[in-house]
Every structure is written in structure tokens, then in C-alpha cells.
Structure 1
Amino acid sequence: MVHYSEEISCRFEVDSMKNFPRTTKLKNRDNTIYKYYPGFSEDFVEDIIKILKVNTNGIILDPWNGSGTTTYVASKLGIPSIGLDINPVMSIIASARLFNIETNPYNANYLLKSSDKFRTNVEENDALCNWFHKDTVKIIRNIERTIFNGKYLREVIVNNDYSNLQAFYCLILFNVLKHLAHDLKSSNPTWIKKPILTERKSFSKAEIDEIYLNEYNRLVQVYEHNNVHQKVKPKIIIGRSESIPLDNSSVETIITSPPYCTRIDYAIMTSLELAIFNISEIDFVKLRHSLIGAPVIHKQTPKAIREWGPTCLETLSKIENHHSKASRTYYLKTYLQYFHSIFLSLKEIDRVMKNEGKCIIVIQNSYYKDIFIDLKQIFIEMIKYLGWRLVGTYEFINPNNLAEINPRGKEYRESSITKEYAVIFRKW
């Protein structure tokens, strides 16, 4: 379904919409490299770039880059791009995705044998000790240090001092950890449990090496099939969308998908990978609070403002007055935090975008109990407040989505057909 804005007068815009990517191009997301939930597929990004005739000398920005679909495709097409994400795990994934397997100077066997030379001292407060015995953690840390030439991941990530090759081998280590802890998954696929002290996992060097080699061989096949040839190196940055570290009017195109309004805890979802960074409990809590849409309450709850638009304010009023428990307190606060962060992010997008720049946002609707949250319309009203022009919206049905993992939603509504939208704006 296509909805045209009455403001459309530019032939370029009309012609662009005639060739808009089909539904399958949006939904055919690739998570064979890393189990994540990207907002759109590589084909979708490639089609968008071609249809909108993106300037190959301009910069594409994805302020919620995640696993790096936007930067990956832009790199293949030879277009400069910047990918921003607050979660350091995703910066490694996005960089690993850019690795050209044909340039691989050694294989995993060499790496694993080299890891034997390290004698890492593991402290009891090592973040990995939340899941594994110290002997197992030592093996993992030795592999980590081999990948990063004797350093730890948390050391090199600060200054972005690592290569795509190192990110590739670190990606394998991430996937190995998920395999080692696979039986700690809960009914919620985004949540991983921490075992009690006496049930922490223990694995031998031989067991870990075997899993690492299997994952290496699997990924080599995937990479050989994808045949990545990076024409332009993107900038992968750790940062917040509410405070984009770029100059005013510095990008021409934005292709992105923001965190959906589904209260998914992406910090918990990547807690094993974050343990490789040896992130402290305090820093982990800070990261959770900085992630948009996380189900945690900040010390100061923002207040709704009229700039968010009538649809957003009406939705918040319905949530506040819902009869279910904690609607007026906990749940209302999480939604206030979400819309506050989204609006700040859109203001930052407006700041860094050049006039006449184009912005493509993929958005998914959601529900709170029986209250429909029309995220598409909320985004449209927020961005129109900033003075942008709506070019058009495109609707896609998504039968498989993370919003449906909570079976209790059926207590409040019979149907929860999830729709996603690609919304196109131009800055004026």
C-alpha cells in the first residue's frame, strides 16, 4: 500500500516510488553471519540507493547501524558511509561484515595454536566468570589476546584500533560463546540467563577449539558466497544517536531503522558478547540505560511535549489511563523515555543532514496491551515538525517479529498483525 503526500511535486520523487523495492526485499534479512534482527535486507538498501540515485560522492549515515547492513552495502557500491551504534558489540559485527575472505593471511588453526603461548591471569571478577569457570575463561581470553596481538578487546575498541580481519575472528569468538551457553537461553529468545555459581560452564581447550574451527569453516563458506570487495572503507563509530559526533550539514542520505517500540533489551541480548569486553556491572547498567527502548527506568523521567505530535501524545494518554497494573507508572515511563530519545535523535539527524538530503526510515508498529502504537505516524509528525517533507510511505506485512514473543499479548487483543513501513523524507 502506498500513501502519497499532497506535497509531492518533484518528478524525481514520483519516479522513485514507481520502482520501490518489493516486500521480499525488506524481509529477506541476512543473519547467517550473526544472529541479530536487522531492520532491513541488503537488497533493500541496494535498491534504495539506486532508486533514489544517491550521490556517490556524498555520505550515507545510519545512526542505528546495528549489524552494519547499510555500511556494508554502501561499501560494496563505493559510496562513503558512516555507521553509528551505542553498543560496542555491534561495531565489531559491522566491521567483521566488511572483511574480504580472499585477503585472509592465516586460518583458524594457526590462531588457536598461537593462543597457547599466552598465560592470561583471570580474576574472579572477570565478566566471563558469570557464565564460565576460570579455566574456561582463560582459554577464551587467550584466544582474544591472540586475535588482537596480545591486547584485550576493551583496549583496542576505545581508539577503534582494530582491523576488519581481527573483527572477523572476534565475530567467530562471539558465536562460539553463544554456542557454549546455548542451554542458558530462556523462553524469550532475546534473554540469556546467568547460571548460579555451582552451575557455571566448563569446557576444555579441545572442545572450544573444535567449536571455533567449525564456526570458522561455516563463516568462510558464507563469506566466499557473499564475495565482499570493499571499494570504500566506512567509518564505524560507537556513539549515541541523541548526540551524533558529526558536523552540521555533513551527510546527504540517511538509511536506517531505529530501535522498535517493543521494549526489547538489547544489552541483555548481547550480554555474553559484552562480557568479552570485560565490561563491569556498573558500565553494563549504564549501557542498558543508554539504549533506546530498553525496559529500564531512568532517574529522571522526561515529560511529554507538544513537539512530539498529537498521535504520540494521545498514545501516551491511553497508556497512562489503561486499567492494567503499572500502566500509569513503570510502563508509561518507558514509553516517555523512548519517545524522548527518538525525538532527540531526529533533531540530531536534522542537524547533520544537508538541505535537500533524503532520509529513509524503516519503522514497525507495535502494541501496548490493546493499545495500537502507530509509530509510523508518530515519526511523520515529529519529522514534519522539523520542517521536512514527507515523500511517501510503503507498507510491508511482517508475520515473524520480536513483538510477538510475549504470548500474554493475546490476552488483550485477538490479532497483532505487525506491519513495517519504509518512510521517505526530504529535508527542506
Structure 2
Amino acid sequence: MRDVRRRTWLLVAGGTALALVAGGTGVAVSQSRERDARAAANQEQLARGCKGLFPGELSSFVPDDSAGVLTEYGTMLAPRQQSRALLDCTLSWGGGAARVEPDARVRVRAEAVLGRTDAPDGGFELPLPSSALGGSGAVDRRDGGEVSATLLAECPKGLSGRIRASKDLRVFVALPSRADSEYDVSKADRLLAERTAVRVADRVSREQGCGARLLTGAAKPEGSASLCDWLSPKALEFARGDWKFYDNDKTYSERAGSCGGRWDDTAGRAAEPKTAAAGVDSWSGVLAPSAYDRFGGDGDVPGSDRHRHKPDGEGRLTVEKSGDDPLLALWARSVCDGGPTFHRATVVPALDFADQDEVLLEKRDRRRMSADARALLDRYLAADDGWARRAHCRDTQIMGEVEEWQG
């Protein structure tokens, strides 16, 4: 009887173990199928989201352990919907309820510009027609980085579904990157963001029928290398020696222009105030009021009370050492191809503070700064290959000077 009971126990135990193994295998198979189904659903969500405008190259970011969260709205997605955007779509993965941000996300937004907007920051590698302006950048996130691209494009026939007419389209794209920081974001990631922004702009323009030229495959602009050749310190009789030119335009855009340079003072400082840096920036159309307001917020526009300096009896002004360049800005306005335009010409004197906290700026030095700023602006406006001539600027009016230093 004892042997019989033992054999019976072994049979029951063996059957139970087999059942447990089979059950565990079944659970694993079920979980694997759930992960596969979830991954497939997430991939399909990436492919169809935002009218199919999310880049398929992001498939490697799609997880199988959590469902993607898609939010999308805009008048192109729901024509009867009240929205400021034509498209606004965000797809994110992971993160959980306790996380401040998801593990990865992609965002696409396209909107009509109603009156004003800021110029896109950063460079743009892809060629664009002169009617468009682009910028790209990168930021750090909790997991990896994020790369973005911004486009400002024209719509000659206008964009529909807005409270008032608009002929300017703004597109913003943000994509995840596997870079450890914003400084490590690869050129390939930046180009993907730029190509996506171009594709979004072209899709919106085509579906809106706004008459815009396609940005995809735009020809590389020719003959733009001389845009800033007019900025010659020798011809302008600025400080002698070598100059370094920075953030100068390489291609022409009718929306904005920028040229600037700085005297290389590694050989020593000037014995008396001379122009140590100079540059001109122009903003046209919807960029003009935003740029003017940005400087106006700091009181750095003509007519502001902030920089009403009071010279002494001999016309001298005290310039305090502050860490910022003692800048003189001369403002002007024109009508150019891109619309109403502001120009801002700036000069910086080479002041030597040495061990002093302030320097006395003589009356003759102030007059020289004014003359330098006007000569700079005049040369800019008259340069055959410069931005102002290419943009066919006309009816230029001088608005006034701003002495942007503490006083």
C-alpha cells in the first residue's frame, strides 16, 4: 500500500508540474503575442497619424511595452473644428503617469501666420527658395535629445479657414533623437527634421491650394556668396587690422538679411575709441513687427525713454562697464519685396576699460559713432549684391539712433 501511495503521489506531482510548465509557457506566449500586437498597433499609429506626415524613420523609437498616445486637431483634420492650427499632432510613447515627459515624442504643427511671427532660429541645410526661411535646433530631454525644424513659407493665394486672410505659413516639427545631448545630435537627425518640415509645408500648401511653390527638391540658390561682401572695414575706414565675420548670410531670403563682423583685438586694444564691431540686420513682412517689438520691449528702439543720456557741459557721456558691448544702433524702414521692412545698423566702439569701471566718451567720439553707423547703413542699402538691393528696398526713411549703453 505504501508503494501504491508513493506512485500515486508521484503521478499527481508530475502532472501538477507539467500543468505549471504548460501554464507558464502559455502565459509567456500570451504576453509575447500582446507585445507583438501592441508594437504593430503603435507602428500603424505612426504610419497613419497626422494624415501620414510622421516620418517612418522613427519606427525604431516605437515601443512594444506601452501603447502610443496620439493627440491631433486642426482645421485640416476636422474642417468644421474651431482651431488656430491647420494641423497640430503629437504622438508620444512611454513615460507613465509619474513621469514629467514621455520617453519619446514627435510633434507636427502648421498654422497660418496672422500678422507677425519670429524669424526661425539656427541654420537650415536644405535649399529653399528666396520666399521661404528655415531654422533648426536641438534640446536636451530626460531620455536622449530632441531635434526641431521651423519653416516660414509663402502662400500667394492665401490660407483658408482663418479669421482673416494670411499669405504666410509657419511649420514646426520636433522629433526624438538618440543623442545623449543637444550637442551630439547628428546631421542625419537634423536633416530628417528639416525634410519632414518641408514635406508638411508642401502637403499643407497643396491641400490648401494656396499657390505656393513646392519646397521639396528646391534648387540651391546661386550667386549668394557675395551677400555680405559690401561689409569692408577698410572701405568704411573702421578699426585697422583683421576682422572676423560672424553669422553672415550665405543665401538670399526676401524675408530677412544679416551681415556682421568684429575686429580681431588679440593684438591689443585701440588707443582711442574706434569701431570694433559692426553689422546690419533686416526683417521684412511678418517678421518686421515682431523684431521691432522684441527690441522695443527692452527700450532699444528710437524714441524710447530708457536711453535718454544726459551729457555733461562738454557733451561727454560716461559709459559704465557692464559686460555688454556699448552699442549704437541706427534704425531705418523701407518697403521691400517681402513687405514693410525694418533695418538696424549697429556699431561698437573699441573702448578700453582696463582696470576702470567706466570710460568717458567724448563728444567727438559720439559724432564719429553716428557717422560710422550712417556710413554702414548707406553702404548696405547701396550695395549691388547686398540684401537691400536684391530685395528691391525703396522709400527708405531714417527712424533714429539708440545709444544702447548704461547711462
Give me the TM-score of the superposition, normalised by structure 2: 0.26
Relative contact order (alpha carbons < 8 A, sep ≥ 6): 1 or 2 greater? 1
Q: Which has the higher strand share?
A: 2
Q: Whose helix fraction is larger, Structure 1's or Structure 2's? A: 1
TM value normalised by structure 1: 0.25
Bigger radius of gyration, 1 or 2?
A: 2
